[in-house]
């Protein structure tokens, strides 16, 4: 005869549904002659499928898009809102010296791996609970089975757009501050070109040599004695 359950004994609750997170990843600073490469991973709960629409409804003057398609002012306004509203994101950079030592592709891969580990640890979830969207040719480590790379993903998916904007604003702020904090770096005009190979920047390198913020492996066609 089966035992009748004590009605005073609480019935076990059904296990909670797993939370899944949609994470967009983008990088900035792959091509400059100076400064770090920076990657952002931006996440929302996967149930928030109307993120772009809800963001636009709340901020009709701010459109999430590829950071390169936005003015500097608009990028900074969007980044301010994303930071203030405490969305979930992580940003990490690797320096010019690290880029010279490891190569740009290895640096980007290492950053992506670290950012995803930050997400897992901070949310107390597993790799399988992340649905990852990456821009261009970016890839996540193989253990992240739910990942997809999209050409021009920063224009197609709001989570990648947000990552693109946050990474760009973060790196630009860093490059502007270089000129403020070190008079020896001010002569390169990082606040203007952010380390990219403009004519003025190349002229300043030839005139002053390479600084600690320059990627020596990127300057071989500009300075012969590197």
| Residue 62 Cα to chain centre, angstroms | 19
For residue 88, give Cα distances in angstroms to 18, 146, 153.
18, 19, 19
CA distance 213 to 105: 18
- The torsion angles phi and psi of 211, rounded to 5 degrees, stand at -100, 180
Encode pLDDT of 46-105 as tens digits. 877 688 888 989 999 999 999 999 999 999 999 999 999 999 999 999 999 999 999 999
Band the pLDDT of 13: cuts 50, 70, 90.
Answer: very low
Encode pLDDT of 32-46 as tens digits. 999 999 999 999 998
pTM value is 0.89
Encode pLDDT of 138-180 as tens digits. 999 999 999 999 999 999 999 999 999 999 999 999 999 998 8
From 153, 135, 201, 164, select the one nearest 68 (Cα to Cα).
Answer: 164
From 119, 122, 121, select the one nearest 131 (Cα to Cα).
Answer: 119
Encode pLDDT of 93-141 as tens digits. 999 999 999 999 999 999 999 999 999 999 999 999 999 999 999 999 9
**Domains assigned to the chain:** 21-218 (3.30.420.10)
DSSP conformational letter for 9:
S
């Amino acid at each position: 005869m089966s035992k009748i359950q004590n009605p005073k004994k609480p019935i076990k609750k059904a296990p909670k549904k797993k939370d899944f997170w949609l994470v967009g990843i983008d990088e900035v600073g792959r091509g400059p002659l100076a400064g770090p490469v920076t990657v952002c991973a931006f996440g929302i709960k996967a149930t928030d499928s109307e993120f772009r629409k809800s963001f636009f409804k709340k901020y009709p003057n701010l459109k999430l898009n590829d950071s390169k398609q936005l003015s500097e002012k608009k990028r900074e306004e969007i980044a301010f809102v994303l930071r203030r509203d405490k969305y979930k994101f992580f940003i990490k950079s690797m320096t010019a010296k690290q880029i010279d030592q490891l190569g740009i592709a290895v640096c980007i891969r290492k950053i992506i791996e670290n950012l995803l580990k930050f997400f897992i640890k901070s949310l107390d979830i597993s790799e399988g609970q992340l649905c990852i969207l990456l821009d261009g040719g970016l890839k996540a480590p193989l253990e992240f089975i739910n990942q997809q790379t999209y050409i021009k993903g920063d224009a197609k998916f709001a989570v990648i757009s947000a990552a693109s904007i946050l990474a760009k604003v973060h790196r630009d702020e860093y490059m502007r501050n270089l000129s403020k904090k070190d008079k020896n770096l001010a002569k390169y005009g990082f606040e203007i070109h952010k380390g990219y190979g403009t004519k003025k920047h190349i002229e300043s390198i030839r005139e002053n040599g390479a600084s600690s913020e320059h990627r020596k492996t990127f300057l071989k066609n500009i300075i012969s004695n590197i």
